[in-house]
Amino acid sequence: MQVKSGMNDKHAGLGMDEAALTEQVADAMKAASRAYVEALVRDLAVAGYTGLTPAKTALISRIPADGATASALAQVASRSKQAVGKLVLELENAGYVRRIPDPDDKRGQLAVLTDRGRQVVEDGVRIKARLAMQASAVLGEERMERLHRDLEALTRLLASRF
Amino acid sequence: MQVKSGMNDKHAGLGMDEAALTEQVADAMKAASRAYVEALVRDLAVAGYTGLTPAKTALISRIPADGATASALAQVASRSKQAVGKLVLELENAGYVRRIPDPDDKRGQLAVLTDRGRQVVEDGVRIKARLAMQASAVLGEERMERLHRDLEALTRLLASRF
DNA sequence: CACTATCGTCAATGTGGTTGTCGATATAGA
DNA sequence: TCTATATCGACAACCACATTGACGATAGTG
């Protein structure tokens, strides 16, 4: 926004530091998001739920009780149909999901949770709640919310800067 | 930490919200870090530097003026030698890097920047500085620093919780 | 009935990474 | 000096995650 003004010289000494700062922050964002997902997957593995990956855990938690088509899941998960189809297949092989013919559409399959699938989703919610409590214990809720807001503000800035 | 106490009922109404919060924050962290890297790569592409990807931009900025071996780069970039070797090869094909025999070690190759490679690193620094300025204009430096600290605190929490 | 949109799948590709293996060279120890 | 052992970079295989394009089959609309 203030980029138009030619006051580059003023920041000459700080330019490097500021650049390093944002890049470090970007690295920190990536590290933190990875750490979160890995903690979730690891805790699930500890609880006995094997064969899960970050992408699969993210997808399975979005399967409603009455099932969903791959296309519907693709929409809510912002993924391609192909990507979802593959993940659903792997979730089926791992025993968390069963695919049944869609009674309303002979083209489609309905992905429904197995008993084990329902269990992993339930335990996933518990694990996420525990992670949230631990995070709040360290930062506090207010700080978590500000973190969330600031991250979204940065995302908006960086994305809409086309 | 407070997980031992059995006061789950007390948070019954908030449990879901808190869980959703951290997951949303994790998504926000991922989105923001992606947006940053994509902004960088896109700005470089606009500046005429094609054939670059996030991983390549991250690596090329770590190549010192006098060059480095793949193994040395692997260490500073926390990647495997193979991953670095592949990226260096692609950077060479794109014209940003040249590999010369290491005078001190007949086994190794030295990756050195070409003129174009030096240019892309320089312009990358400028682009990062601009991104940092824009970010500071939105959040302010203090808020950026707090963001950084909080992200690192969360990463520590999630990683050392094994 | 014909046309078009959508269903899920196949194939190919891209990006970013891993482990294991291997010949060649470095280097330290007996 | 000779012999282990460590390291260099490369090859192959593989994994995770995602994309686009094409396709047959079915749905739905005019």
Q: The tokens of B157 are what? A: 């929490």
pLDDT value for B19: 56
Q: What is the pLDDT of residues B104-114, one digit of tens each?
A: 999 999 999 99
> pLDDT grade, residue B8 (50/70/90)?
very low
Hey, which residues 122-151 in chain B have their CB within 8 Å of chain A? 125, 128-139, 141, 143-148, 150-151
The answer, for A115 touching chain B at a CB cutoff of 8 Å, is no
Closest CA to A52 of A69, A39, A65, A35: A39
Share of chain B above pLDDT 90, in %: 83
DSSP string spanning B92-148? HHTTSEEEEE-TT-TT-EEEEE-HHHHHHHHHHHHHHHHHHHHHHHHH-HHHHHHHH
Q: What is the pLDDT of residues B28-39, one digit of tens each?
A: 999 999 999 999
> pLDDT grade, residue A21 (50/70/90)?
confident
Residues of chain B positioned with their CB less than 8 A from the CB of A145: 21
Q: What is the pTM of this model?
A: 0.86
A156 CA from C14 C1′ (Å)? 26
pLDDT value for B4: 36
Is the pLDDT at A9 greater than 90? The verdict is: no
> pLDDT grade, residue A117 (50/70/90)?
very high
Instruction: Compute the Cα dihedral for A101, A105, A107, A110 and give only its sign.
Output: negative
Share of chain B above pLDDT 70, in %: 86
pLDDT value for B7: 39
Closest CA to A122 of A46, A37, A47: A47
